[in-house]
Amino acid sequence: MKKMIIQGGNRLSGEVTIGGAKNSTVALIPAAILADTPVEFDTVPDILDVHNLMIILESMNVKSEFSHGVLDIDPTQIVEAELPSKAIKSLRASYYFMGALLGRFHRATLTFPGGDNIGPRPIDQHLKAFKALGATVIEEKGTVHLDAPNGLHGSRIFLDMVSVGATINAILAAVRAEGTTIIENAAREPEIIDLATFLNNMGAKIRGAGTDTIRITGVKTLQSMNTHTIIADRIEAGTYLSLAAALGDGVMIHNVIPEHLESFTSKMIEMGVELQIDSDKIYVPKSSHLHPVTVKTMPFPGFATDLQQPLTPLMSLADGDSTIVDTIYPKRVKHISQLQKMGMKIEAHDGMIIVKHTEKLHGAEVSAGEIRAGAALTIAGLMADGQTVINNAGNILRGYDRIVWKLNRLHANVSIEDDSSVKIG
């Protein structure tokens, strides 16, 4: 088990560059097995999820190499094989192999994936999409068996609830199916547009990505001709924006797509943070006299559920009570008890999180229950007096590209220790 050790109290300044989007990357890597040629991705974040997905690829005889942000994947010798359950269970997004394998081989068998424990995230909408495309679905003992011996055929799919995962899986399965598929009530996240762009550049026929209706005309082959550059990670960007406003003396954040962050930056501006927003970068000046705000998470373009926790430490500096209502994952509250250990005045009741003004935080031993909870604890640890030890820091490393290196370049004092107490800087 990895631990993050933070010596708090340092003011931060300088520049940081945001990596490629985790939520795009974990869909693009499974999508690569649909190609009949080698594939190359650029601006790939160096996170544990990428390395776990590479282990899954290897089990199917798909070679991959990752160096300096470039990931090469060669699916031309792919074989059907049992996927490693340990890697599958370590990250939720491994379920995208369901759609990709169904699209490639017309069958797939996967154990139920793991990942963050933030409350129920059923895959019934994914399975509904697969059935509509002609697959039979059998669930038994934590395993899903998908089979379409006569191939997949285009269909109309109406998602009962807006689901990023189900939208992506439906696209992956439909892109090489016969005929036309229409996905209605589709999610509109930027990561879905990124996936569609990658597939279209290989010859797919996907229209409407970024709207609530996506039309897909199936093709027989997908062939990569160019390197695909992954979009900037809006959740990582929001995390550093919150961090910079909470304890920065002037921080420039590069490789940002401001349009993807409007719901978040508007709340920061409402709080009194005087952001200077450019076309691909945002400068965060030293902030003071912050005002409380109310946040309600919604599907994109609303306020992202993944950003409610990273904003929490900044909210504790406001001169009043801020509130959060998470309509996406109401049970996303595991960070609250950990922040309370550090002295934060935060509580949850009646489906609402209330963050009160907190004069000072103090270091403590806490645990990162999932990625974004870990981000909130990291920011709080940097704000706190004394040393903070975050257990289960592997969850943080799952989602944040080279976070220790980036924080220390901003003059933080952060390190990672593994079981043998060897520091990893």
125 annotated as ligand-binding: yes
If we measure between CA atoms, which residue out of 298, 392, 420 comes closest to residue 4?
392
User: Which one of 46, 116, 194, 326 is the catalytic residue?
Assistant: 116
208 CB-contact burial (10 Å; exposed 0-12 / middle 13-18 / buried 19+): middle
**Using an 8 Å Cβ cutoff, are 101 and 111 in contact?**
no
336 annotated as ligand-binding: no
If we measure between CA atoms, which residue out of 301, 355, 299, 293 comes closest to residue 328?
299
Backbone angles phi, psi at 23, to 5 degrees: -70, -20
Token digits of residue 65: 């190499």
Residue position matching structure tokens 């900037």 = 232
22 annotated as ligand-binding: yes
In angstroms, the CA 18 to CA 399 distance is 12
124 annotated as ligand-binding: yes
Per-residue 3-state assignment (H helix, E strand, C coil) for 179-224 = CEEEEECCCCCHHHHHHHHHHHHCCCEEECECECEEEEECCCCCCC
226 annotated as ligand-binding: no
Indicate if the alpha-carbon torsion angle 242, 248, 250, 253 is positive or negative: negative
If we measure between CA atoms, which residue out of 366, 242, 261, 368 comes closest to residue 313?
242
How far is the CA of 285 from the CAs of 37, 69, 113, 247, 251, in angstroms? 47, 29, 41, 10, 7
Backbone angles phi, psi at 25, to 5 degrees: -60, -45
As beta bridge partners, residue 416 has 4, 424
In angstroms, the CA 166 to CA 127 distance is 8
**Using an 8 Å Cβ cutoff, are 238 and 307 in contact?**
yes
Token digits of residue 52: 């776990």
Beta strands in 81-217 (DSSP E): 107-111, 136-140, 143-147, 156-158, 180-184, 205-207, 213-217
Mark whether 116 is an active-site residue.
Answer: yes
CA 90 to chain centre: 14
413 annotated as ligand-binding: no
72 annotated as ligand-binding: no
277 annotated as ligand-binding: no
121 annotated as ligand-binding: yes
Q: Which residues are catalytic?
A: 116
Binding residues for phosphoenolpyruvate: 22-23
Binding residues for UDP-N-acetyl-alpha-D-glucosamine: 92, 121-125, 306, 328
